[in-house]
Every structure is written in C-alpha cells, then in structure tokens.
Amino acid sequence: MSLYKGHLAGGFVAFFLYILILILFFSFSPKADVLIWFGVCMLGALWPDVDTNSMAQRLFYGTFLVIDSFLILTGKYKEASLLGFFALLPIVGKHRGWTHTLLAAFIIPSPLLILPLIKPELNTGGLELYVPALIGYLSHLVLDRELRLY
Ligand SMILES: [Zn+2]
C-alpha cells in the first residue's frame, strides 16, 4: 500500500472516531455536511506530504495551478502572487520538515477559521471545517510517528 493510501486510511479512522464521539457524547445527528467534513479531513490527512514528490503534492499543486490561473485571468494579480508565494513555502524545506510539526497542524487549516470572518457572505468555513482538517492533519503526524501515541 502506498503511503498516501495509508494516510487516507488513517484519516478515515480518525474521522470515524470523531463522528462517533460527536454522536455518543454530543447527541450529534449526521447530515449531508458530514461528507464535506470528511473530504476536508482527507485533505488534512494528505497535506503534510506536500513537501515531497507525492500524490498530495500533485493534488495540491494541481489545484493551486488552476486557482492561480483563474486569478491571473480575472486580473487578481495580488491574490495570484500571494497564492504563489505561500504555495512555494512547503517545497523550500526538507521532507518531514515544518509541514510535519504540531504547530503547522494548527496553523495550516486556520484559514478555515478566518474565512467566515473576512467573507461571511460565503457562508462556509469555521470550526466545523477546521476541526476535521486538524484531525486529518494530526492523523498524518501520528502515522508518520511525529506524534508518538504508540
Ligand atoms: Zn508525512
């Protein structure tokens, strides 16, 4: 099994436990939004390996390319340059460098917390997306033994 499949499986287990805890202790009843949370959790589980030649790198940089192209074509050069700058950060470090730290696990998904504050009209983001991203990210760190739980 390739590495990304192991991280997807780890993210799946972590997400399942998260939903189970919500159901058992917070009387949560799952709705369709849970599928989006799941997708965000899977992206969080893959993100740390964006710093090396991996499926995660191809996925995220392919997405960055599409978004950056759209921003350039619509004349949003400042936003395009900011995306380009921040997209460079993971690949200037070593593999299992800063992207594999606990601090990064909390900071990288933080735009999901900030988005509803700066763009409330989008009606998305917030804690309900941040927590699944964080859970996925942490599952990656546990599997890579950056967080030693076993
Ligand atoms: Zn990793």
Identify the band that residue 125 occupies on the pLDDT scale cut at 50, 70 and 90.
Answer: confident
Tokens standing for residue 4: 């990304």
Q: For residue 120, how far is its CA from the centre of ligand 1 (angstroms)?
A: 33
Q: For residue 108, how far is its CA from the centre of ligand 1 (angstroms)?
A: 15
Q: What is the pLDDT of residue 1?
A: 45
Q: What is the C-alpha to C-alpha distance for residues 44 and 42, in angstroms, rounded to an integer? A: 5
Half-sphere exposure of 150 (CA within 13 A, CB side): 6
Identify the band that residue 150 occupies on the pLDDT scale cut at 50, 70 and 90.
Answer: low
Q: What is the pLDDT of residue 148?
A: 65
Q: For residue 106, how far is its CA from the centre of ligand 1 (angstroms)?
A: 16
Instruction: For ligand 1, an ion, list residues with CB under 5 A.
Output: 48-49, 144
Residue with tokens 């099994």: 1
Is the sign of the CA dihedral 4, 5, 11, 15 positive or negative? positive
Tokens standing for residue 68: 């950056």
Q: What is the pLDDT of residue 149?
A: 64
Total-model pTM? 0.88
Check: CB of residue 7 under 8 Å from CB of residue 139. Answer: yes
User: Tens digits of per-residue pLDDT, 2-54?
Assistant: 689 999 999 999 999 999 999 999 999 989 999 999 999 999 999 999 999 99
Q: For residue 100, how far is its CA from the centre of ligand 1 (angstroms)?
A: 6
